[in-house]
Structure 1
Amino acid sequence: MKNIWGIIVLVLLIFTWALTTATFGTSWYRLHDELTNRGWAYFKYSHYDIGPDTYSISGSNIQKVLQTCLAFACISWIFTTVTIFINIMDRVKSGVSLFKVARFLPIGSFLFALFSVLVLIAWPKAFKKDCEKNASYLTWAATGCGDWGCFKDLRVGGDCEPYAGWACMIVSTITSFIAALISAIFTRYGVSA
């Protein structure tokens, strides 16, 4: 029973690691292309896709938001990877661990995952700033810079919404939080409890 908490933490961290890894190649936000009715524009950290076409968002405020989300996700991923490695090494060897701090590493993973999720809240303001400065990537948006709901709220009636990358990061944040709690309270790496 003494190792069950460490195994639970390991399983949660592997799940967290997989979800965070999935966010790196997944779109974080989507907007409906109302002008050309070509479908959805899926935004990643450096570009967006509409169907088979890819368009740059370099130099835009939304690129900064998405890259900040990605940076925090990467740091969370690093914390998770290190913790998984230490957890596995602790299962393999016996004796007193040199990594007593490892039980608190999932807290770092959780915090950076949480930052990654929360940064996307800046999307509407960044998107409106880009629209007001007439960013070239917005040429397909039919609504101009008026009171479009996407400028006011993170999710508005299906026209614009956070997408799979953000959803994966939310679940990753929740699982890393649970892993952090269990790890900090119940696990003792390399110590018989």
Structure 2
Amino acid sequence: MNTNRLNNFKGSIYICGFMASGKSTLGKKLAQKLDWEFRDLDTVIEEKENKVIKDIFEDRGEEYFREKEWEYLLELSRDFKGIVSLGGGALQNQQVVDHLKVNGILLFLEVPLKEITKRVARRNHRPILFDEEGEIKSREQLFEELKALYSDREKYYKQAEINIHSSEYNSIKEMADIAIDKIKRHV
């Protein structure tokens, strides 16, 4: 296989997918298996802004968050080689997709929306989980909002060079092994 070409690859692997899809989990496993560094874009934003994402959204709004997300992603793409887990909404426009594909490989981690809804409902740090009064939304309302949001972003996710369907694998290890095989074939 193209192990030698992978070792000489100068770009990064950018993992995209919807919120709660497991991008960071897969990214950490890929980094471990490839002996590469790992960065989670959401963690980078939180460290640089000295706030959790939920508070950034509440204090400054989504527009500010997206500007900072783009700024820090540009820094990562310029200064870092490794595995980068993107936020679920990082692929907001074609410019972002094109930039990442020029600077590395885009890998889409696809997870069924019903599973995403379960995962989002279990954790209370995601802004979309709450209504305007700060109350947790019903499962049905959450599903419908996630579905609409996913449908807006799907056209960007689907442009990834590598696609991993989580429902086809039994473990994160198996998913990472398949992803590495696909990456090797791509570089």
TM-score (norm: length of structure 1): 0.30
TM-score, structure 2 as length reference:
0.31
